Amino acid sequence: MQIRVGFEIIYQFAARTPMVLMLNVHPSRAADVIEPDELRMTPTLPLARYSDAFGNVCTRLVAPAGELEIFTDALIADSGLPDAVEPRARQYEIAELPHDTLVFLLGSRYCETERVMDVAWSLFGKTLPGWPRVQAICDFVHSHVSFGYHHARATRTAAEVLAERRGVCRDFAHLAIALCRCMNIPARYCTGYLGDIGVPPEPEPMDFSAWFEVYLGGRWHAFDARHNIPRIGRIVMARGRDAADVAFSTTFGANVLKRFIVRTDEVASPNVELVERLVA
């Protein structure tokens, strides 16, 4: 299958303002890119790209005073398969884990493990380790937290999600990540595109989505505590310890976000379109 992705973002700046953007498809999906997601600006500006400590593609620029439009349009190949489910994927002892997974066992800005440690062990200490334990955590977060865009708050932490029982997709991910880390399962935050492919369309406006990955059975696996079902067409843009590491835009000065539109749509293959015309 092919998926067309893109966005349009418009900012208003009172003065020249440095920015860092994290708006490209992650390099791990580079082989799937059919039409590249080059960032375009109005007005045109000099851009500098670099990779951060987690391998994400970052773009630096200085926005001029006034209005800045940032947009892209790309075509991505995808298997069309839902997230893999591997119930036998085992949980490793900490001493067995690869060095680069250890950072994802530690508390972070939005995933303060020390504040939810006792709850985690009381709820999941007797669950089967590995995949069943992660699924139990997802089941709990999915049923415990109420989703709504009107619940969004940029400063909400995992412990606050646990107490308030409401949030948006990043809050579901933060709480699940914190609980997994408490249970000695490496867990990392992911953000990217996730359209309504293979599921009924959601009434809310499209947004960048958040989910998480855990290290089990020798590799990373995607989990999604908000939806809590395997999904099709997940296209990662950035990974990190939590949302603080993967903000799609960091602005070093005052600004107003005037427009924010995200698009993710399955593209019918030429053969499918031909069959549809013939049937019609």
CATH number of the domain bearing residue 103 = 3.10.620.30
On whether residue 163 sits in a domain, the answer given is: yes
Q: Are residues 108 and 190 in the same domain?
A: yes
Tell me the pLDDT tens digit for each residue of 21-50.
999 999 999 999 999 999 999 999 999 999
Same structural domain for residues 275 and 174? no
Q: Are 41 and 29 in contact (CB under 8 A)?
A: no
Q: Do residues 129 and 238 share a domain?
A: yes
**What CATH number does residue 13 fall under?**
2.60.40.2250
- Same domain? For 260 and 233 the reply is no
Kindly state whether residues 158 and 252 are assigned to the same domain: no
Q: Which of 23, 87, 6, 10 is nearest to 57 (CA)?
A: 23
In a domain, 218, yes or no: yes
Instruction: Please tell me whether residues 234 and 145 are part of one structural domain.
Output: yes
Range of the domain at 126: 94-194+208-245
Number of domains within the chain:
2
Q: Which of 22, 52, 26 is nearest to 39 (CA)?
A: 22
Task: Decide: pTM greater than 0.85.
Answer: yes
29 and 114 share one domain:
no
Q: What is the pLDDT of residue 203?
A: 78
Residue 114 belongs to a domain = yes
Q: Mean pLDDT score of the chain, rounded to an integer?
A: 94
In a domain, 84, yes or no: no
The pLDDT confidence band at residue 280, using thresholds 50, 70 and 90, is very low
Mean pLDDT (whole number) for 252-277: 79
* Shared-domain flag, residues 225 and 265: no
Whether 88 is in a domain gets the answer no
Name which of 10-14, 15-19, 132-136, 195-199 the model is least confident about.
195-199
158 lies in some domain: yes
Residue 278 has pLDDT above 60, yes or no: no
pLDDT in tens, 202-226: 877 788 999 999 999 999 999 999 9
In a domain, 200, yes or no: no
Q: What pLDDT is recorded for position 271?
A: 52
> Which segment of 67-71, 197-201, 231-235, 240-244 scores lowest on mean pLDDT?
197-201
Assess whether 236 and 98 both reside in one domain: yes
Q: Do the domain assignments include residue 201?
A: no
Average pLDDT over residues 44-73: 97
pLDDT value of residue 83: 97
118 and 24, same structural domain? no
**Residues 93-115: what's their mean pLDDT?**
98
Give the burial class of 256: count Cβ atoms within 10 A of its Cβ; 0-12 exposed, 13-18 middle, 19 or more buried. Answer: exposed
Residue 201 has pLDDT above 90, yes or no: no
On whether both 149 and 217 belong to a single domain, the answer is yes
Mean pLDDT of 8-33: 97
Residues 251 and 238 in one domain: no
Nearest to 129 by CA among 92, 86, 167: 92
